[in-house]
Amino acid sequence: MESRLDQEAIRILKANDRGGFTIPTARLYPYQWNWDSAFAALGFAEFDRDRAWREIETLFEAQWPDGMLPHIVFRQNDPDYFPGPAIWQSNTEPPSSGHSQPPVTASVVLRMVQGGDASDLERARPLFAKMLAFHRWYHEMRDPDGTGLVGIVHPWESGRDNCPDWDIGMDRIAVPDDLGPYQRRDTEHIDPAERPSTAQYDRYLTIIKFGRECGWDHVEMARNGPFFMGDPGVQFILMRADRDLLRLAELLGETAAQEQIGRWLERASAGCQLLWNPEVNAFCARDLRTGEFSDGITSASMLAFYAGAGTDEQRAAMAVHAARILDQVAFGFPSFDPAHPRFEAKRYWRGPVWAIINFLIVDGLNEAGETQLAERIRDDTRRLVETAGFFEYFDPQSGEGIGGSDFTWTAAVHLVWGSGSTNSRAA
């Protein structure tokens, strides 16, 4: 029997449906976002599997010829959002942004296949080559030197847009005199104190300007763009997604792809060691231009469990950090270490709790046998929704809902955890 919250979550997904693709929330985010759509599909799969598959299929309609899956798909021009298609100038149809987002699609597709029947496997079949091309793009265009560590060319590519991880890379960006005037839209919908600063936005647009002027040459952006950092979030999500894509290749009989995916996994296992910060004894972001580490532990650091990354000793250290951080907050898992001076409980990705990151962390902790930590984070996520509603993110101390309301991926996580039908991943 559906609870009141289940019914509300279903209502939110249906209300944010725009006819085959889902927006994160009205007005603040009026387009189709890459990893938002993947999580939306998981939510839809709990009550409408055809609609769930359609979400993934429409997302791949925007795939670039080189394999990239862009982070925003502009299916119409909406004045409520900046920067829109006129700023990005992708020269694609449909128009899109010029970089990507964390590659969760293969993991979502595997969950849907393993939670479904033969018809779900057949729905996945035509998507396999597209997902393989997307992963190949990440390994070639974001790791052009073959180190095993992928980088990001813009903080937005991480999905954790305003995290303090990016401060060391962002602070080195020189804003050009010809950047031009612009009018943000996010601060018209949300308290500016909860959003990135104007100085940070100037740097975001400086990176876009470079990409636009080089014709979105992805290797050029990685080698010579204003920003290039190693992100534990993207690295670990890609490692897990490669593992899940390999499992899909096995289920679909795609034998030719299995060797290549295996090589990616072997290389990434070594590459993730470049993110181990011995000063902090944790996985941290790193500026790939200078080699400088961020000194903060984030929720993305905890995705080492999700990827199965690192040594036994490293994962044990991460579990100790997780327990320490959870002891400092009323609700876990904060997006940045509360003990760090740059922690901000309410500002975008600089402290708040995000249900989708919790979802991935819990999956990884359970696989690693850290079940008590996993249950604490899952229970906290449920309590946040029960007390505050389906918000974009939450204050880890007060539990207040922040950002956009009626948020798609928060509703989706609630539905998946509430029913349990796709929560447990088969081996």
Active site residues: 161, 392
Q: What CA–CA distance (Å, rounded) separates 327 from 236?
A: 25
- Give the closest residue to 274 by CA, choosing from 320, 236, 245: 236
How far lies 113's CA from each of 58, 263, 368, 422, in Å?
Answer: 18, 24, 23, 9
Residues 6+ apart with CB under 8 A from 145: none
State the Cα torsion 364-348-170-100 to the nearest 10°: 60
- Give the closest residue to 344 by CA, choosing from 157, 159, 197, 187: 197
CB atoms within 10 A of CB 146: 10
CB atoms within 10 A of CB 198: 10
- Give the closest residue to 408 by CA, choosing from 12, 77, 47: 12
In contact, 173 and 290? CB cutoff 8 Å: no
Place of tokens 């956009």: 404
Residue type, 104: V
Q: What is the token pair recorded at 237?
A: 């999500």
Q: What stretch of H or E contains 151? A: strand 151-152
State the Cα torsion 236-240-245-248 to the nearest 10°: -170
Residues 6+ apart with CB under 8 A from 50: none
DSSP structural state of residue 155: G
Question: How far is C-alpha 81 from the chain's CA centre?
Answer: 20
According to DSSP H, which parts of 17-96 are helical?
Answer: 34-44, 49-60, 85-88
In contact, 376 and 359? CB cutoff 8 Å: no
> Is the four-CA dihedral 44, 48, 49, 50 of positive or negative sign?
negative
Residues 6+ apart with CB under 8 A from 202: 175, 179
**Which residues does residue 336 pair with via DSSP β-bridges, in sequence order?**
298
